[in-house]
Structure 1
């Protein structure tokens, strides 16, 4: 096998030690290697080669124009066995399992109103609760990130299990376990445990006790919800209350025709996990960073609020208003770009032999599509560290499409919850900034530096929030 040129690896650990020698995030190393080797090169994650693809042109030619060839994911068996008890869910599966359950989840999201008034009402309820909490703060310092966390957590839990969190402690425990999951994935021992083949399964578990803690805490919670739903579900009722009830009815239907495998409880637990992982930190961290950007860029915040006042006035913003708020949409777009949540994407795998950069690449080779390189590319986004919503507006002030803005990834594995996330980002941003003024707290202007784990977030900050309209 002839591989594309890249940094020289060490035995067993590959380029992982060199990657970690660069300042965080890992994109620092990826960027440095791209300058040296070009937008397509090979690195070694443990003792397995990974082809890195950076730059929008190169990503479009592969993950969009030849999407089927790059639609598989690299499956880390030890990791799946430790966390999920096998290959389950949609994030870490391929083939029929991935196709069937992704399709089922998308259909269920649509049935429950993704892009329609049912889901919109669920989001607006959380917007209203958050507005009420902020109004009651009376301009005191507020941890806005924490409020976004519980709001988005309620939306996810409502979709999965049909209820909002009445006990904050339960949500805090789930959130802490999800935080721990992302933190452990950013450690060298995690990569060593699951990427170095010569480390056996039992030793990998010993090296990552926090991953076992995440598994036990989250999956026990999910199984409890599943068991309660199974007891309460009327399997003859046509209407469904939530995702788990919909799944259990499909499970029963398949079992009646002899299929006891494809819709198992193990798979359902992993689907609940994947929906939490995909839907929680991505949206809340984006909103937290957006609020920090708004405090740091008061003129842009005022410009957005002026548009909201002129178009909306003192009423609730709904999805029907979206097309009439170009600057608000541009503000959100630029916040998503600068949030740039994934320092390094989850590796895909070639589904067949492909030709890439003059080399023939066999089926099953790991391929890393670096979306972060596009979002920070100065050739696409001049002065990429600056907050400039006008990038997405034409000369007449209308919103224009910038195809290089790809915060939800690209290709066949584009984010399952993209539609829901777009609704959440728009409804929270438009409604909160229409009703409230965001300004610096007593600790000063929020830092725009980020905390890095597997997913980035704004460093902890507080701000002040005051009403824009008299009541």
Structure 2
């Protein structure tokens, strides 16, 4: 009798796993109990783009995978992404919230990356407004970026003829830009920046690991077990948040609330916080939210841009003809002067080079999961409210039907027959929909000004160890493998 009962339970469990729980969802790879499709996804070479492309070949542009114990609808085609995340954006504007992650890292539902509703809307709007006030897209922000361009140029002239870790130069420059916006200061001590950068690198490495993915996506795991499986998350969090808290404390000591003008984001936030507290609102602009907003803007603004620049330089060294073509354009249009944003429209090939670097870098192995805000229909299936949906832009950026021979670095694909920059709507490195990257405007300025100025001033050549590898290190965000190069001035100083 006991044997029959156990056999029946096993049969029912297998029936549920293989059929019942998957009914009504788009077809997809067969999940394993508890862990879903994690093992299969991690079995592909880093950074994992190939898994989603392979599943799309087998199951179509829209299919279902299981992230631990819960389903996720993956949308891989641009046409399908446009019909959902653009044409019906409100239905996909929520983020899928992993409560255990928020508790472990953030101390609750804070920030903008991992929140929904009023918290997300209010703080995204406030951050965008503050960015605009501090000059995003204007000369004030451009001057801040040009200062960092000057610093890199000075350092590269000093290192001419030697091995250069160009990634370190980009890291420090972009870190300074973010720090100025948030806290009003550049890094005085490289050691302080490097310590923070190491923690941020570790954060992305940890978030891209099987262990952490398992801990956050298996719904029945208690919080204490999540903390046990992810002890490094707490260590990394404490180190990063300690840096933010030091800056916040210093601002609290120095802030002048009577002065209407603010010098940075934190000061602007504190004035809004005081205003709301005077009205009896002690929650919407809390200190916890401020720390998490600093974290989100560091995460969003740092690694995406600096890793793209690292890849861009690597592609330039591996494709010297394309590099020379860009430099020829820069010499003819700019000559020996600083490139500004006013020059952007007159440099089509330089812009095409940046576009192709962004496409090839393809930084996100898997996009941040969203959730349906209402019942929707996908691939003929009715999907309830609250189900995870992922807009998988990595498959669009590497789609051979959109970008022929996608493995090749070909800036010319963005140039039309008249030699002008061609707009390609399928180029979506900053994501799509209502949660498009908060710092897209700033990132575009940084990519253009760093690329145009540095490649106008220097030729980038392979280092003693040869050409940079174009393989990625595995992490939550893709990164070029460490490399060194050499630089050669194009103009006499």
Structures share a fold, TM > 0.5? yes
Question: Counterparts of 1:39-438 in structure 2 under 5 Å?
Answer: 39-438=61-460
Q: Distance in 1 between matches of 2:150 and 2:42?
A: 43
Residue 138 of structure 1: CA displacement? 2.2
Q: Distance in 2 between matches of 1:410 and 1:4?
A: 22
Q: Distance in 1 between matches of 2:323 and 2:263?
A: 39
Matched, 1:14 2:36: yes
Residue 458 of structure 1: CA displacement? 1.0
SS at 2:64's partner residue? strand
Residue 221 of structure 1: CA displacement? 1.2
SS at 2:487's partner residue? strand
User: What count of residue pairs does the alignment treat as equivalent?
Assistant: 471
Unaligned runs of 5+ in 1: none
User: Partner residue of 2:477?
Assistant: 455
Q: Give me the CA root mean square deviation.
A: 0.8
TM-score, structure 2 length as denominator?
0.95
SS at 1:280's partner residue? helix
Residue 26 of structure 1: CA displacement? 2.1
Unaligned runs of 5+ in 2: 1-22
Residue 30 of structure 1: CA displacement? 1.3
Residue 243 of structure 1: CA displacement? 0.3
Q: Distance in 1 between matches of 2:50 and 2:180?
A: 38
Answer whether contact 2:46 2:473 (CA < 8 A) is retained. Answer: no
**Worse overlay, 250-259 or 16-25:** 16-25
Answer whether contact 2:28 2:64 (CA < 8 A) is retained. Answer: yes
Q: Distance in 1 between matches of 2:130 and 2:410?
A: 37
Q: Distance in 1 between matches of 2:455 and 2:47?
A: 31
Q: Distance in 1 between matches of 2:216 and 2:425?
A: 35
Deviations 1:391-445 (A, max 9, x none): 1111110111000000000000000000000000000000000111111111111
Q: Distance in 2 between matches of 1:166 and 1:441?
A: 29
Q: Which portions of structure 1, spanning 4 or more consecutive aligned residues, are displaced by more than 6 angstroms?
A: none
